[in-house]
Homo-oligomer: A and B are copies of this chain.
């Protein structure tokens, strides 16, 4: 149950649910390698990066928090490359994505990400802006550096309202 009408109910962030939109970057299951004489586990190459024509860069975003219910008024996408968000100092944060429908975002889905979960949006995936919940937060962003217009915004005529799921 993810809501009806203009209400979007948050879902847990899982790799399976998120796969059409991108990658969940998290240390779950068995590591791919054990390194450093057993002192570290490597979960290898967990994001489908795409910098088509540009190059990879690492930037930091320092974001002020939002609260739920959250009025979603705009979705954006980056037509030229993927964009990954790695939380450095976060409590929970909100990940909003939408399928593309003929060049416009379709009905959004909202996921609540844990402080130890990053995400990578695939190239041209509609998504909400960075929305930490409750506390200001710092994120490392791995995205495309290069020429060209890599930002497309879609403002909604009627906002959606993103809410916590109802308790069973």
- Chain A residues near B (Cβ < 8 Å): 25-27, 31, 35-47, 49, 51, 55-64, 66, 84, 86-89, 115-116, 118, 120, 129-130, 138, 140-142, 145
* A contacts with B: majority SS: strand
Contact A64 B40 (CB under 8 A): yes
Q: How far is the CA of A63 from the CA of B88 in the complex (A)?
A: 16
Q: How far is the CA of A62 from the CA of B87 in the complex (A)?
A: 15
3 closest Cβ pairs, A-B complex = A56-B56, A40-B63, A45-B57
Name the B residues within 8 Å of A84 (CB-CB): 58
Contact B140 A86 (CB under 8 A): yes
Nearest B residue to A63 via CB reads: B40
Contact B130 A27 (CB under 8 A): no
Complex A-B: 17 CB contacts under 8 Å: A26-B60, A38-B64, A39-B63, A39-B64, A39-B130, A40-B61, A40-B63, A40-B130, A41-B61, A41-B62, A42-B60, A42-B61, A43-B60, A43-B61, A45-B57, A118-B140, A142-B142
A76 to chain B, nearest CB (A): 9
Nearest B residue to A33 via CB reads: B59
Contact A27 B58 (CB under 8 A): no
